[in-house]
Amino acid sequence: MNESMNLIMKGRLKRRRHFIVMTSILTLLAFALCCTMLMLGNTIYPVQDVIRVLLGEEVKGATFTIGTLRFPRMVAGLFAGFAFGVSGYVFQTMLRNPLANPNVIGITAGSSAAAVFCIIVLHASHAFVSVASVIGGLATVFIIFLLSKGSSFSIGRLILIGIGIQAMLNAVISYLLLIGKQQDLPTAMRWLSGSLNGSKMENLYPLIITVLILLPIIIALGKRLDILELGEQAATSLGIDTDKTRLILLISSVLIIALATATTGPIAFVAFLAGPIANRLVGVGFSNIIPAGLVGIILVLASDLIGQFAFVTRYPVGVITGILGAPYLIYLLIRMNRKGDL
């Protein structure tokens, strides 16, 4: 008996060490990419100049470039990537399906449709677009869950309805672009592609504040989230109020991903890829909310650097993440079809 307990304890300690090591590596990689974003550009600035600018010193040339252009871009990628990664992980874990993420089931499409309507039709301010994006995301979630409820809740039905809603909303977006005025189209198209271009600090505060407020709530519910992955009956038998837990996680995740979408546009596949990559790297046994968020940051910042400097033409970050994510989606669909999960 004691030997069995010792083996269990050793296994837990090993998993905990692996979790700490991999999370630390992901943190260091995310930090390195943040530094690279600030240093790299048409002019490459040394680390000491970056530090001086961040400390408030006036450095000729560097103050404007780093403080006004690169720093907001880096912060936008940092918080948007984290929001996409965390939200995707929550949805995939809560609904026990890798396809059940905000990109695939239409939540980001709902936020996008609301935002494009504000840009094209209402010519609204950025603050109004952010509010409309959140409302659009929440309304889409409500409609999807309402339509998928039926006599009993079905994850497969939810995913199929979500894909249908996404197609419908994409058609609405296409129509809005068709009727939009010529001067509004570049803004809408740049936003729809998922881009960090033109990021300004004053536009980032709603996303930053929302993530900082809601992240502790999501982390606090991390253990319950992992129990939800076991199924409704198992979670209920362990004393989890599944409806309340799912509602809080749902609203929190939709809020942060809707604000991230309003800030940078729908950066493709980050919410889809972050969770599976984090699970593969870190393993199971602990809540991977933070690792998924860190993977989201790495995907966004690395893709933005690739889009800026790896090609002759500069591409928005969403184009690069789309290239990375599309093959994985096809692979996942083929694998799930073979297993009979579709």
Q: How far apart are CA 139 and CA 53, in angstroms?
A: 42
What is the pTM (predicted TM-score) of this model? 0.89
Is the Cα dihedral 101, 105, 111, 112 positive or negative?
positive
User: Is the pLDDT assigned to residue 335 strictly greater than 90?
Assistant: no
The pLDDT score that the predictor gives to residue 9 is 67
Which sign does the torsion angle of CA 36, 42, 44, 48 carry? negative
pLDDT at 94: 85
Q: Out of 32-36, 100-104, 121-125, pick the least confident.
A: 100-104
Helix (H, G, I), strand (E, B) or coil at 283: coil
Whether 47 maps to a domain, the answer reads no
List the domain range (segments joined by +) for residue 248. 29-38+62-339
| Residue 71 belongs to some domain of the structure | yes
193-237 residue pLDDT tens: 888 888 888 889 989 999 999 999 999 988 888 887 777 677 777
**Which token pair is 245?**
């837990």
Flag whether 49 is in a domain: no
User: Residue 210 carries which side chain, given as an amino acid letter?
Assistant: T
Q: Give residue-wise pLDDT tens across range 272-330.
A: 889 888 988 887 767 889 999 999 999 999 999 999 988 888 888 988 998 888 787 78
In a domain, 51, yes or no: no
Range with lowest mean pLDDT among 40-44, 88-92, 172-176, 242-246: 242-246
> Over 60: is that where the pLDDT of 77 sits?
yes
For the chain, what is the domain count? 1
Identify whether the C-beta of residue 278 lies closer than 8 Å to the C-beta of residue 18. Answer: no
Instruction: Provide the residue count of the chain.
Output: 342
Q: Which amino acid type is present at position 185? A: L
Q: Residue 224 maps to which CATH number?
A: 1.10.3470.10
